[in-house]
Chains A and B, each alone.
Chain A
Amino acid sequence: MELILKARDLEGGYTLQFPFQGSTQASQEYIDAVSNVSIELYRDEVFGIAGESGCGKTTLIKILYGYINPPLTLKQGSVELYAEGEKPIEISSLGLEEHQRRVWWKRISYIPQASMNILNPTMRIRDHFAEMLKIHMGMGKEEAYPKAQEYAESMGLPRDALRAFPHQLSGGMRQRAVIAMAVLLKPELVLADEPSSALDVITQRTALTFLKDVQRGLGNTLVLVTHDMGIQAVLTDRIAIMYAGKIIEIGETAGIFEKPLHPYTRALIDSLPRLGDKSQRTGLGGQPPDLRRPPAGCRFHPRCAYSMDVCNREDPQLLEKRDGRHVACWLYA
């Protein structure tokens, strides 16, 4: 397998100022959103990042994309993008301008949350494509239009949709247009953040299978961030499960669903109701921690049924068990 991106020891979070709070408390607080995360991504795979709201998955994606704007700060760690016969690009050290010129859209594309609403309402869909071709490939208007048309049709967007303004299309069709734009310059890595959470199941299925087809066609890497374990199960090859800013389990999708190791992963999978199975399902108790003051030791221990003495003292490391499965839990250390 060919390595295309390597992130090492990422520590990132948000520094917030509280000018209105009483003078007894510190006026600055740090939200520890991504803590000690390392991942490797390979060519031609769909990599899922799962976890619930506030677990740091969007922050992680932003760091991988190199979109680090205050209040988000990267305290430590590096992200390197590899390519055949080229020096690796260190994403974490590039400035915004350099990113725009060298990396974004060309090497890495980012489909943000609710991205079907990012289209300019006063521009027709085909103009969005033409503009990208003009800016990134230096094409003139006469050249860009037919090229945009040809490309959009090859992506299965109907002619009507190209002539339409964004508001005339359904959410699913807009989502397709955004996906098609994101892969226009054939990036090696596509980062999609909850690309379907606002869509209905049938539209969601068409949008996501489209995303998967595109990935297969280009043979590139797709990182899919979603809290929906059902989608993770049907679409991804490998998954990383995040909890409170840390990756707690990582491994092949089929294996994780067959035998989840970490108690949190198990709870996530067990709480998923399934059609045709009426057996009692239980949810997790308690609340996810406040990332301003994360608990000592394992961050999951206050909610964990298997919590031991060591869990509230020491943070478990992400260790390899077998077949590429890594888990951060004292039960397996």
Chain B
Amino acid sequence: MDTKFLLQVEKVSKVFGYGFLGRIKFRAVDSVSLYKEDEPKILTIAGESGCGKTTLARIILGFLEPSEGAVMYKSRDIHRLKPKERLWFRREVQAIFQDPYETFNPMRKVDAYLYEAAKNLLELKNPGEASECVGEGLEFMGLSLKDVEGKHPSEFSGGQLQRMSIARALLPKPRLIVADEPVSMIDASMRMNIINIFKELREKLGISFIYITHDLATAFYVSNDIGIMYRGSMVEEGPAEKVLLERHHPYTKALVTSLPQPGKRVEWLKRTRASGMEIKEFLAPGCKYANICPQNFEKCMKERPPMFTVKGVKVACWLYEGQ
């Protein structure tokens, strides 16, 4: 296996049951491949709710087992790790979640949670060492042990809690952080502070990120590469600037033009087609976007498009066949 990749997602699918006794099967993640080179870069996985981005993140983190395919981290299959390797994987790959109020147990003190993470992940026995380590992590996030000690999560704002959960993720000095919608619960005026921290961590500590989001504006701001998902499939993938500014796939076009942005009033107020029945699209034999795509033709309904390479971007759309 090639070792220049930090993370390889090889044709991963996840099948969930639906309907009575779960007898209708649908693919929440459908044969997705992703390759992340071993250099500090931010890779965004973007898409709307129900596109499978969180399921994919959970598979990458090892919380869920894929129904098909495999995830390789430094050439090791993360779902087939030996017990010892599991701790290593936990240190190398860390997670940050959407709702900071849910990350922390409301009945426990915040610092206890940080100490526990330090003890379990770094196998630190001595409390002095642990507090030094936790203090270092908090300091990096602009907080100090004094502000945090003895307090419950309810005494902090969402932004502060999210900083603490990033501090926790930093304790084992990870190589990769998977952040699932980390700023969607934070007020817009403070969102950029968290996003800028990711940039800083990448530049100063060389940490790679997988940033899962529905927000294309922050994705454009922070990411090097981006993958757009729709109904479980990757539809377009490549350098963020190319994907979001050149926009090859009709779905990417629809997403970007629907983004409410200052100065885009006239364009935004034009009418669009809304998606209908979600489950039908998941089960569609051809392209899953074909039903609402303004540029669809016969082939789209019947056959699933493979990834075509157009000007350095991979696009899953029959429009680009033979180009």
A interface residues (Cβ-Cβ under 8 A, vs B):
52-53, 170, 172-173, 200-206, 209, 212, 227-231, 233-235, 257, 267-269, 271-276, 278, 280-285, 287-288
| Chain B residues with CB under 8 A of A172 | 274-275
Among A230, A234, A280, find the residue whose CB has the most chain B CB atoms closer than 10 A: A234
A200–B188 CB distance below 8 A = no
Q: Which of B169-177, B189-197, B304-312 contacts A (4 or more CB under 8 A)?
A: B189-197
The total of chain B residues at the interface (CB under 8 A) is: 46
| Chain A residues with CB under 8 A of B255 | 201-202
Q: Give the residue name and chain of the A residue nearest to B48 (CB).
A: A200
B220–A278 CB distance below 8 A = yes
A53 and B187 in contact, given A202-B258, A203-B274 (Cβ under 8 angstroms): yes
Q: Is B259 interfacial (CB 8 A cutoff)?
A: yes
Specify which of A230, A271, A285 is in contact with B259 (CB 8 Å cutoff).
A230
A271 and B220 in contact, given A201-B258, A202-B255, A283-B196 (Cβ under 8 angstroms): no
A202 and B262 in contact, given A234-B268, A278-B221 (Cβ under 8 angstroms): no
B274–A230 CB distance below 8 A = no
Q: Is B75 interfacial (CB 8 A cutoff)?
A: no
A233–B191 CB distance below 8 A = no
Specify which of B48, B218, B254, B258 is in contact with A273 (CB 8 Å cutoff).
B218
Please report the C-alpha to C-alpha distance between residue A321 and residue B99 in the assembled complex, in whole angstroms: 41
| Chain A residues with CB under 8 A of B268 | 205, 209, 234
Q: Give the residue name and chain of the A residue nearest to B159 (CB).
A: A287
The distance from the CB of A100 to the nearest CB of chain B, in whole angstroms, is: 33
Interface digits, B230-264 against A, CB 8 Å rule (1 contact, 0 not)? 00000000000100110000000011101111111
The distance from the CB of B294 to the nearest CB of chain A, in whole angstroms, is: 13
B220–A231 CB distance below 8 A = no
| Chain B residues with CB under 8 A of A173 | 274
Please report the C-alpha to C-alpha distance between residue A203 and residue B157 in the assembled complex, in whole angstroms: 30
A283–B262 CB distance below 8 A = no
A228 and B157 in contact, given A273-B221, A282-B196 (Cβ under 8 angstroms): no
B269–A209 CB distance below 8 A = yes
| Chain A residues with CB under 8 A of B220 | 273, 275-276, 278
Please report the C-alpha to C-alpha distance between residue A282 and residue B199 in the assembled complex, in whole angstroms: 12
**10 A-B pairs, CB-CB below 8 angstroms?**
A173-B274, A229-B188, A233-B265, A234-B268, A269-B262, A272-B261, A274-B217, A278-B241, A284-B193, A287-B157
| Chain B residues with CB under 8 A of A201 | 48, 214, 216, 255, 258-260
Specify which of A204, A234, A273 is in contact with B217 (CB 8 Å cutoff).
A273
| Chain B residues with CB under 8 A of A272 | 188, 217, 261-262
| Chain A residues with CB under 8 A of B241 | 278
The distance from the CB of A195 to the nearest CB of chain B, in whole angstroms, is: 13
The distance from the CB of B52 to the nearest CB of chain A, in whole angstroms, is: 14
Please report the C-alpha to C-alpha distance between residue A201 and residue B218 in the assembled complex, in whole angstroms: 14
Specify which of A203, A204, A228, A287 is in contact with B275 (CB 8 Å cutoff).
A203
B269–A257 CB distance below 8 A = no
| Chain B residues with CB under 8 A of A281 | 192, 195-196, 221
The distance from the CB of B298 to the nearest CB of chain A, in whole angstroms, is: 24
The distance from the CB of B172 to the nearest CB of chain A, in whole angstroms, is: 27
Q: Give the residue name and chain of the B residue nearest to A55 (CB).
A: B187
A227–B48 CB distance below 8 A = no
| Chain A residues with CB under 8 A of B276 | 170
Q: Is B120 interfacial (CB 8 A cutoff)?
A: no
B190–A284 CB distance below 8 A = yes
The distance from the CB of B260 to the nearest CB of chain A, in whole angstroms, is: 4
Please report the C-alpha to C-alpha distance between residue A160 and residue B147 in the assembled complex, in whole angstroms: 56
| Chain A residues with CB under 8 A of B261 | 230, 233-234, 272, 274-275
B189–A275 CB distance below 8 A = no
The distance from the CB of A248 to the nearest CB of chain B, in whole angstroms, is: 13
Q: Is B3 interfacial (CB 8 A cutoff)?
A: no
Among A231, A271, A275, A280, find the residue whose CB has the most chain B CB atoms closer than 10 A: A275
Please report the C-alpha to C-alpha distance between residue A227 and residue B274 in the assembled complex, in whole angstroms: 23
A275–B259 CB distance below 8 A = yes
Please report the C-alpha to C-alpha distance between residue A288 and residue B158 in the assembled complex, in whole angstroms: 11
Q: Is B272 interfacial (CB 8 A cutoff)?
A: yes
Q: Given A230-B260, A233-B262, list of 18 further CB < 8 A pairs?
A: A52-B188, A173-B274, A200-B214, A201-B214, A202-B255, A204-B260, A206-B274, A209-B269, A271-B189, A271-B192, A273-B221, A276-B220, A281-B192, A282-B192, A283-B192, A284-B193, A285-B193, A288-B157
Q: Give the residue name and chain of the A residue nearest to B189 (CB).
A: A284
Among A170, A202, A287, find the residue whose CB has the most chain B CB atoms closer than 10 A: A202
A234 and B260 in contact, given A170-B276, A202-B48 (Cβ under 8 angstroms): yes
B272–A271 CB distance below 8 A = no
User: Which residues of chain B from 146 to 198 have a CB within 8 Å of any chain A CB?
Assistant: 157, 159-160, 187-196
User: Which residues of chain B from 191 to 223 have a CB within 8 Å of any chain A CB?
Assistant: 191-196, 214, 216-218, 220-221
Please report the C-alpha to C-alpha distance between residue A120 and residue B292 in the assembled complex, in whole angstroms: 29
| Chain B residues with CB under 8 A of A276 | 220, 245
Please report the C-alpha to C-alpha distance between residue A274 and residue B193 in the assembled complex, in whole angstroms: 16
Q: Give the residue name and chain of the A residue nearest to B277 (CB).
A: A170
Please report the C-alpha to C-alpha distance between residue A282 and residue B190 in the assembled complex, in whole angstroms: 8
Q: Is B139 interfacial (CB 8 A cutoff)?
A: no
Q: Is B271 interfacial (CB 8 A cutoff)?
A: yes
